[in-house]
Amino acid sequence: MQLRLNALAWASVCLFGLSSTQAQTAQAAPTVPTTPATAATPSVEPGAAATEGIPANGPTAPSAQTAQTAQTAQTAQTLGQVVVTATRGAKALEKIPGAVSVISRQEIEAQGLVSEDPSALLALQIPGYAPSRQKLSNFGEGLRGRNALLLLDGIPQTNPLRLGGREGYFADPMIVSRIEVVSGASAAQGMGATGGIINTITRRPTEPGTRQTVELKYGTQFHGDTANWKAGYMVEHKSDFDVVAYVGARTQDIGVDGAGRALATESLHQSADGFLKIGKDFGPQRVQLMLNRYHADGFDDRVDVPGNRATGQPTTSARGTLPYEAPRNEVRSASLEWTHSDLAQGAASVQLFKQNFSARYSGGVITTFQDASIAPVGTLVDQSEIKADKWGVRASWVRPDLWTPGLELTLGTDYLDDESQQRLTQTGRVWVPPMAYRSLAPFGQLEYEWGPFTVRGGLRDEHSRLRVDDYSTLAYYGSRAVQGGERSASKLVKNLGAVWRFGQSGWSSFVSYNEGFGSPDVGLILRAVNTAGRSVTTLVDLQPILTDNVEAGLAWRGAQGSVSASVYRSHSDLGSQLVVSNGIGSLQRVPITVRGFEISGEWRPTRDWQLTGSYALTRGRTASTAGGALDLDLGARSQGPDKLVLGALWRLAPGWQAHWTQSVYFSRDANVGKFSGKTSLEERFKGYTVSDVSVSWDSPWGQLGAGMENLFNRRYLTYYSQANYSGTNDDYYAGRGRSLTLSWRRSF
């Protein structure tokens, strides 16, 4: 293993892996003059960077400037990129002590030529992100072995009270300007970021006038029931006010694996998005409204055909009628924002937000749902639905040069109101009772910049309260009456870090300590009470999760390339692990430690070529009993395998670009010979390699593109399906075979 790590790390260094916009903040380089697109801006949106540094309408055609000029602009642009996710204020990427990266609009569009799976994009661009499941569910898609907090313009999309694994789909890629990612525990954006933060930032017009964009896509695998298409329309306007509006719809057939077998049904079939963002500046002030409604539906005309794990036969599907409603996701997000760039010599922002989430799951004759008082055991068909309604306020004020040049103060407070529940839709029964969660968290940060040094630290005072009324569990758990009540928690969460830039050499380093504040899956705990006389006020498992992350990084950036590497350790004394024993799932509060190494970078040997790559190694350990020794490996539900991603960009001619990527997921054996009760915890993953390729042309008739996913039609079983020790023959899923996507987009 050590030999493999050394070899891969050396190969990545030689390649100068991942793109410059992906570079972690360990890449801090000497400050250079920024381009107009990346100069410091007077106004900062609470959920997004005011300075995007990326044209809102997509990449500029190479024919508009020489490749050399584009390369120089890209380098300067990256050095001056401004992000807000990590610090709650506009901050140059290279001055943040931590692993912060940005997925640009160009990278989103390049991946969109191949696939619009949001998890596939993250797995490709973020070293520590687990492989995509290619399903509606994102169980097992962790960041550095833990859960990430998902945001849309700063609005929480994750549902920590009942983490159902359906939070990954909430926006069409067309409305996205960029994605800011903080790897490692963080409390900067509130509860739930024990593994990091993924903030999807929507588009905003950058050029005066009106622009309309039409996008069409068609895909096929050259088999029956494999066609997919998408149509989208966007209008952007900027004058004394600005507006972006978008409507789009997508349909995807079932598809086939590399052997031509139909895939299973737990995947997206249809989706639609309606988006509106409108804003107006009043001198140094700005008011902005954002509305987004996204829904995704599964298949209602196909049924799964169970596979066979013993023989390696994956689960497939066939035409049929479901005895329950099709799976469905619906997410509505809204925010009203106010910013002031010169309030008491600082920049202020206030955001009022609301989010409504619902996810309906597949059903059937499920053992947990059987109740003899309703129907004979073994005949009752039911399915569940999670609903979560959130609203809150996020406020911050950033004062630069406080008392002395280089000293910056950030003050703010966050409030969150979250009500979540899970019901059985066919019979109207309550599975998880309504949970009312309130959180108030004032915070403060100080930063001091002195020459090549930047030091930053702060505190966040978390106060939370959970209230649950009296309820009864399902018959499967004994129809136990549980007394309601309230649970409160308070915690002072800390962070401290420093960046050191080594003169004009291009070298820099960072060290950081960050704490993240999270909640266990409260709904999973409440629904599984199976003993009499229990009360919400005495359930120990409801205590919050505090995760600390210690990290150090080293980086270099030069004229033709860059490389960054970091090593980290993440630990929680009272973590949260789902354990399946004798077929019954329960939550254990046990210590968890994750250690890892990541390296990424880029090399531009000529003006027309760009080579990229990244490697991530993750090692997670947990305990089999509360307070016990770390005697178990983290399972596939939490941790992904070691991963190597290589890529190349070739500018064939003016207006032409070709992309190639290869993702290598290494084999992993975990908990060999270990048991929980009579259930084996053993996980075995054989690994696989997939390659994608795409080409685009900025023609006089619009941008034309063609992308091929799984270029060599590799037959493989996805990581979570292979490794999940509690998996059955029903969820033994194969990966998608070779897929061709043709696209056309034109702006006018």
Of residues 249, 254, 250, the one with CA closest to residue 221: 254
Cα 522 from Cα 466, distance rounded (Å)? 10
Lookup: tokens for 456: 């930053």
| Residue 74 three-state SS | helix
The tens digit of pLDDT for each residue in 636-652 reads 989 999 999 999 999 99
Of residues 647, 635, 685, the one with CA closest to residue 665: 685
The tens digit of pLDDT for each residue in 451-505 reads 999 999 999 999 999 999 999 999 999 999 999 999 998 999 999 999 999 988 8
Cα dist. 135→104, 125, 298, 651 in Å?
24, 19, 10, 33
pLDDT of residue 196: 93
Residue 76's pLDDT band, with cuts at 50, 70 and 90, is very low
The tens digit of pLDDT for each residue in 150-201 reads 999 999 999 989 988 899 999 999 999 999 999 999 988 888 889 999 999 9
Residue 298's pLDDT band, with cuts at 50, 70 and 90, is very high
Of residues 116, 103, 105, the one with CA closest to residue 217: 116
The tens digit of pLDDT for each residue in 530-576 reads 999 999 988 856 778 899 999 999 999 899 999 999 999 999 987 77
Q: Give percent of the chain with pLDDT exceeding 90.
A: 74
Query: What's the pTM value of the predicted model, to 2 decimals?
Result: 0.89
The tens digit of pLDDT for each residue in 342-379 reads 999 999 999 999 999 999 999 999 999 999 999 999 99
The stretch 129-147 carries a mean pLDDT of: 92
Residue 94's pLDDT band, with cuts at 50, 70 and 90, is confident
Mean pLDDT of the chain: 88
DSSP state of 59: P
Residue 283 has pLDDT above 80, yes or no: yes
Walk me through the domains of the chain, giving residue ranges and CATH numbers: 2-747 (2.40.170.20)
Phi, psi of 462 (to 5 degrees): -85, 125
Cα 13 from Cα 250, distance rounded (Å)? 40
Residue 578's pLDDT band, with cuts at 50, 70 and 90, is low
What count of Cα atoms within 13 Å lies in the side-chain half-sphere of residue 597? 10
The tens digit of pLDDT for each residue in 708-726 reads 999 999 999 999 999 987 7
pLDDT of residue 93: 80
Cα 168 from Cα 133, distance rounded (Å)? 11
Of residues 180, 115, 107, 106, the one with CA closest to residue 150: 180
Residue 589's pLDDT band, with cuts at 50, 70 and 90, is confident
Residue 4's pLDDT band, with cuts at 50, 70 and 90, is very low
Of residues 437, 436, 455, the one with CA closest to residue 446: 455
The tens digit of pLDDT for each residue in 602-636 reads 999 999 999 999 999 999 999 988 878 999 999 99
pLDDT of residue 542: 72
Q: What totals of helices (H) and strands (E) does the chain contain, helices first?
A: 6, 40
pLDDT of residue 48: 52
pLDDT of residue 566: 97
